[in-house]
A = this chain, B = another copy of it.
Amino acid sequence: MVNRKRVTSQDVADAAGVSRTTVSLVLNNVLDAQISEGTRQKVVSVARKLGYVPDAAARALVSGRAQIIGLVLIRRPYHIASDGFLTQILDGLLEDAHRSGLRLLFDIIEPEHQKEAYLNLVRSKHIDGIILSGPRFDDEALDALEKDGIPLVLIGQLPGSNICSVDIDNFNTSRQAVEHLICLGHSRIACITNASPAYTAAADRLAGYAQALKDAGLPYDEELVRFGDFNMGSGYKQMQSLFESAANFSAVFVASDEVAIGAKAAIFERKLNIPQDIALVGFDDLPIARYLEPPLTTISVPAIKIARQASSMLINTLRGEEVKERRVILEAPLTIRQSCGAHLRQN
């Protein structure tokens, strides 16, 4: 007895012997207008029996709200195929969105299409608001969006803008990670970034590395710096490049666990041991970090919490509430495991 044709509110109204208005009032739980309990019951039961579900497009058209939030990344598809950070963000976002009756549209935008792609997505009103993860310095469209009044929250930061954002302190956490290495006696410390320095997070993490060196009176040596590209393959390649450069180093700070996993494989391939021959510190504390061999010392980025914070800010904005704290920075402690030998020290 399943209906083939679409069921509209008119059908429900007819079957219940009321008007479309009443149906709408009942189903949307409008508080102002009072509906007799009998009518309400009837409408609800008829609607259920008919399997009525409001048409999203019609509702969006009249209400101006699509009930969808967008998560967008400035990346290429192959960057996300193994993105352990993304899944955590999705986890956090989805829970909150569901609780608010919102759906999640996921999209990636290739760096060169930034401008048009944003505008299409937002101006088409496909989505009510947007969470953008991993902003780049060259993101021209971002401020335009903000000015357009589109609810927008950044996961990450864009210096000089007033956009809502939630992030960790990339600079100081990186510095702390490298300081840890320095404390353990390393003075030749290589660095592989998480991504191109066009990404603000990558630039900050690299700066933190440089600062730690400087604070310790250690020279910054370009020979020891490589740029990762989000995924394990890039870590593997850049680590090889480090070995091939013949520069000597006893530790590597990799500003992304994902990239660090590739680097680690390249180290083992050389028959070198971690941490005995080379100490390794990552960044992110992906779920896998603690299960790696050896368990990875890394900066614990509270990804799910970040996602929750971002969605909460976005949802508040959507509700027209004022977000007082426009730039949230969450704690990201260094989690010491066994990839840099700290656990072996006897103090």
Binding site for B on A (CB under 8 A): 2, 4, 6-7, 51, 53-58, 60-61, 66, 68, 77-78, 80-84, 86-88, 90-92, 94-95, 103-108, 119-121, 123-126, 144, 147-149, 231-233, 236, 261-262, 264-265, 268, 286-288, 290-293, 295, 304
Copies of this chain held together in the complex = 2
New A-B pairs, 12, CB < 8 Å, besides A84-B84, A94-B106, A265-B292: A53-B123, A55-B61, A55-B125, A56-B60, A56-B124, A57-B58, A80-B91, A81-B287, A86-B87, A94-B108, A104-B107, A233-B287
Whether the pair A82, B2 counts as a contact (CB closer than 8 A) is no
Whether the pair A287, B77 counts as a contact (CB closer than 8 A) is no
Whether the pair B232, A261 counts as a contact (CB closer than 8 A) is no
Chain B: CB-nearest residue to A267:
B293
Quote the shortest CB–CB distance from A190 to chain B (angstroms): 18
Whether the pair B144, A2 counts as a contact (CB closer than 8 A) is yes
- Once bound together, how far apart are the Cα atoms of A106 and B103, in whole Å? 8
Quote the shortest CB–CB distance from A215 to chain B (angstroms): 33
From B57, B107, B233, give the contact of A60 (CB < 8 A): B57
Quote the shortest CB–CB distance from A214 to chain B (angstroms): 32
A88 and B94 in contact, given A56-B66, A236-B291 (Cβ under 8 angstroms): no
Whether the pair B288, A264 counts as a contact (CB closer than 8 A) is no
Q: What are the residues of chain B within 8 A of A148 when measuring CB–CB?
A: 2, 4
Chain B: CB-nearest residue to A104:
B106
- Once bound together, how far apart are the Cα atoms of A232 and B295, in whole Å? 14
- Once bound together, how far apart are the Cα atoms of A123 and B2, in whole Å? 12
Q: What are the residues of chain B within 8 A of A88 when measuring CB–CB?
A: 81-82
Q: What are the residues of chain B within 8 A of A293 when measuring CB–CB?
A: 264-265, 268, 292-293
Whether the pair B82, A287 counts as a contact (CB closer than 8 A) is yes
